[in-house]
């Protein structure tokens, strides 16, 4: 059964509502009200359009924002957990590891290591094939980088 343009717009409006309010407490009733659709119909339509349930989409949105915060160094893992809308550090850590493949602290350590490596040895992150094909000069060990 095709989705009408009006219905599609309402589901997209609810998705945009999630994008702007993911830090707060969101539930299916709130999102369905935002779309002016019954909760069950909204759930089916959202899942059909985005290939994720509203809850899965909300969790991914929160994890993505947490990932950016972890790389920025400003907040502790607990502060990030609370900032992105999770109610417990345990559920946050479990879902983060499930989504990203590594716990939040390990992800942060790896992001900081990559940032440090970028600053100390920027050319080490350029693929060798790119250097070979495009003639990027690599300074010899005696020459200071330009």
Convert the pLDDT of each residue in 67-121 to its tens digit. 999 998 778 999 999 999 999 999 999 999 999 999 999 999 998 888 888 777 7
140 occurs within a structural domain: no
pLDDT at 141: 45
> Which residue, 116, 114, 115, 94, is CA-closest to 104?
94
Do 28 and 71 lie in one domain? The reply is: no
145 occurs within a structural domain: no
Do 11 and 47 lie in one domain? The reply is: yes
Do 120 and 86 lie in one domain? The reply is: yes
The whole-number average pLDDT for the span 56-61 is: 96
How is residue 97 written in tokens? 């590891």
The kind and range of the H/E element at 104 are helix 104-120
| Domain end marker among 10, 27, 51 | 51
CA-only gyration radius of the chain, Å: 21
Looking at 49-109, which runs of residues are DSSP E strands? Answer: none
Higher pLDDT, 122 or 103: 103
pLDDT interval class at 41 (50, 70, 90): very high
CB 129 within 8 A of CB 141: no
| Domain around 37 | 1-51
25 occurs within a structural domain: yes
Do 116 and 95 lie in one domain? The reply is: yes
Domain count, the chain: 2
CB 19 within 8 A of CB 85: no
38 occurs within a structural domain: yes
Q: Is the pLDDT of residue 60 over 90?
A: yes
């Amino acid at each position: 059964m095709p989705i009408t343009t009006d219905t599609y717009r309402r589901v997209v409006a609810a998705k945009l509502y999630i994008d702007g309010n993911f830090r707060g407490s969101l539930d299916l009733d709130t999102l369905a009200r935002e779309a002016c659709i019954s909760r069950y119909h909204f759930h089916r339509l959202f899942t059909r359009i985005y290939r994720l349930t509203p809850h899965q989409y909300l969790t991914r949105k929160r994890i993505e924002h947490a990932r950016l915060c972890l790389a920025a160094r400003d907040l502790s893992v607990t502060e990030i957990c609370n900032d992105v809308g999770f109610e417990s550090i345990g559920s946050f850590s479990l879902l983060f590891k499930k989504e990203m493949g590594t716990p939040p602290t390990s992800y942060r350590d790896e992001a900081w290591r990559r940032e440090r490596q970028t600053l100390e040895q920027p050319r080490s992150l350029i693929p060798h094939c790119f250097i070979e094909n495009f003639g990027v000069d690599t300074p010899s060990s005696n020459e200071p980088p330009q």
